[in-house]
Amino acid sequence: MCRHGVSNAADFNGVNMATGPGKYDDICTTVRVDTNAQAAIVIILNGDRGSGFSLQSFAPIDAAVVADLLEGVLKQLRMNEEDTTP
């Protein structure tokens, strides 16, 4: 559990990842709380604190569910890129 009472990356279905508050944990907490979400993932590219991500959940998360979600995002990004390529 991280300081917000939610499971953190250590509970990510046995995947060995960093634990404890990260550089974007505060932002992820805000997103999770403001949306009443069970879980939240925040990905930051070239922010004030550099690039990084934070994942929070009230329960262990199945890595396959997160991977499927991120693969869907990646697929959409690639489709959008193809649509804008001359």
Domain that holds residue 35: 9-84
* Counted domains in the chain: 1
Q: Which residue has the tokens 């046995």?
A: 14
- The upper half-sphere exposure of residue 12, i.e. CA atoms within 13 Å in the direction of its Cβ, equals 21
Q: Report residue 5's pLDDT band, with 50, 70 and 90 as the boundaries.
A: very low
What would the pLDDT profile of 59-74 be if each residue is shown by its tens digit? 888 888 888 999 999 9
Task: Examine residue 48 and state whether it is found in any structural domain, yes or no.
Answer: yes
What's the DSSP call for residue 35?
T
> Could you tell me the pTM of the whole model?
0.65
Task: Examine residue 29 and state whether it is found in any structural domain, yes or no.
Answer: yes
What would the pLDDT profile of 20-63 be if each residue is shown by its tens digit? 678 899 999 999 999 999 889 999 999 999 998 898 888 888 88
Task: Examine residue 42 and state whether it is found in any structural domain, yes or no.
Answer: yes
